[in-house]
Amino acid sequence: MAADRSDRDEDKRDDHDDRHSRQDEDDRRDRTRGGEDSDRKGRDRDRSEDDDDEGEEKEKKPSFFQKTWFKITAVIVVIVLLIGGLIWWLIERQYENTDDAFIDTHIVHIAPQVAGQVTRVFVNDNQVVRRGQPLIEIDSADATAKLQQAQAQEAQAETQYHQAMATERGAQAQADSANRDLARYRMLQRTAPLAVAQQQIDQATAQAKNSIAQRDAARAQINGALAQIKVDKAQIAAAQLNLSYTHIVSPTDGTIAQRTVAAGNYVSPGQEMMAIVPLRVWVTANFKETQLQHMRIGQPVTMDVDSCDVEIKGHVDSIQRGAGQAFGILPPENATGNYVKVVQRVPVKIVLDRIPRECHLGPGMSVEPDVKVR
């Protein structure tokens, strides 16, 4: 039993030594960790002290926007912008402008008035023509034949007229002779009743009436012949007019555009063959109705044309009485449905004072006019 007790005592001593050794190791680890923590805390303190030093330096140094010269420059810039804006407003308020403007003119569409085959075309695309200049020649054989036929009918009517005149003269002579015979018989009947039989008087009366009837018939033939002559003359005039339609000339000065006809084509009345753009053009500018308050006829206009780098002068010629939509095929009916007010545009006609030679202006080209309203 003593041996067992000694063994337990040794085991207790060994356990006690193990616990002391483990505790020593734990103490060493804690000291090591404490040293690391203290080093980390020291570094953090050093870093915070450096950051405090930098913040103090930044607080001591003024920012870029707090510098005096920057504030003075900013004030000067603001004043210049305000003055520039005021000057711009004072200038711009004197003008009304729009980009909804274009060159306009009354385009002349050339179409035949008679049917036929085109024999010659005298002009080409974009060619300048003058009033009365030949454009197109149409085959005139049919028109010439109709003219000759009308002339022949007139000659026939003239012959019938002369024949009727001769017949009327003969009938008039017979009527005069029969009237004289009737007058003699009636005189003899009054002076010597037995010298003239009643049968002779009746025959003379019938002869006089027949002669007058023949004379009236001849006069009617004369009137018919005169009427036929007038009809034939009208047909001749129509045939001559149709013959003249085969020779088409330019109705105005201008430039050829959209030529679609060539020699050999068969054309019908009303078929468009080409167009002529007159040399006289103007500008149609669609201003908003709110821009017309101070706009008046005769005010000067300065225009910038996209097709040429030249400033063109003009003046306001007229202002259309009504907005453009009122003249559409289907004008709006504001009295029906919901109504939303929309600012309308009104066409203003601007006449060009002078067109520079280097500018080729045509209908549809864009223009930006500035109207001086004040």
Q: What is the pLDDT of residue 255?
A: 94
Tokens of 321: 């009485």
Same-domain status, 224 and 341: no
Is the residue at 128 inside a domain? yes
Q: Which residue has better confidence, 373 or 122?
A: 122
Is the residue at 56 inside a domain? no
Closest C-alpha among 243, 250, 3, 301 to residue 114: 243
Is the residue at 151 inside a domain? yes
Same-domain status, 222 and 183: yes
Per-residue pLDDT reduced to its tens digit, 48-68: 555 555 555 555 566 666 677
Same-domain status, 197 and 254: no
The domain that holds 334 is classified in CATH as 2.40.30.170
Same-domain status, 135 and 162: no
Task: Examine the pLDDT at 101 and tell me if it is beyond 90.
Answer: yes
Q: What is the pLDDT of residue 1?
A: 43
The Cα–Cα gap between 9 and 14 comes to 9
Is the residue at 91 inside a domain? no
Per-state percent for the chain, helix, strand, coil, to nearest 5: 50, 20, 30
Q: Give the range among 157-166, 208-217, 323-332 with minimum mean pLDDT.
A: 208-217
Is the residue at 255 inside a domain? yes
Number of domains the chain contains: 3
In terms of DSSP H, where are the helices of the chain? 2-60, 68-92, 141-191, 198-245
Same-domain status, 234 and 259: no
Per-residue pLDDT reduced to its tens digit, 287-323: 999 888 888 999 999 998 888 888 899 999 999 998 8
Is the residue at 18 inside a domain? no
The rounded mean pLDDT for the chain is: 80
Same-domain status, 148 and 237: yes
Q: What is the pLDDT of residue 2?
A: 44
Q: What is the pLDDT of residue 318?
A: 93
The domain that holds 120 is classified in CATH as 2.40.50.100
State the average pLDDT over residues 95-106. Answer: 91
| CB contact set of 127 (below 8 Å; sequence gap of 6+) | 255, 256
Instruction: Assign 329 to helix, strand or coil.
Output: coil
Do residues 260 and 274 make contact, with C-beta atoms less than 8 angstroms apart? yes
Q: Looking at the whole model, is its pTM more than 0.75?
A: no
Same-domain status, 135 and 151: no
Tokens of 348: 């203003």
Same-domain status, 236 and 150: yes
Q: Specify the amino acid at residue 252.
A: T
State the average pLDDT over residues 348-355. Answer: 92
Per-residue pLDDT reduced to its tens digit, 21-42: 666 666 666 565 555 555 565 5
Last-in-domain residue among 245, 261, 295:
245
Is the residue at 195 inside a domain? yes
Same-domain status, 134 and 153: no
Do residues 287 and 311 make contact, with C-beta atoms less than 8 angstroms apart? no
Q: Which band of pLDDT confidence, cut at 50, 70 and 90, is reported for residue 269? A: very high
Domain with 121 in it: 108-139+248-275
Per-residue pLDDT reduced to its tens digit, 119-175: 999 999 999 999 999 999 999 998 899 999 988 988 888 888 878 777 777 777 676
Tokens of 114: 């008679």
Q: Which band of pLDDT confidence, cut at 50, 70 and 90, is reported for residue 83? A: confident
Task: Examine the pLDDT at 222 and tell me if it is beyond 50.
Answer: yes
Task: Examine the pLDDT at 75 and tell me if it is beyond 80.
Answer: yes
Same-domain status, 259 and 201: no
Is the residue at 306 inside a domain? yes
Same-domain status, 256 and 125: yes
Same-domain status, 291 and 252: no
Q: Specify the amino acid at residue 104.
A: D
Tokens of 302: 């300065």
Last-in-domain residue among 201, 226, 245:
245
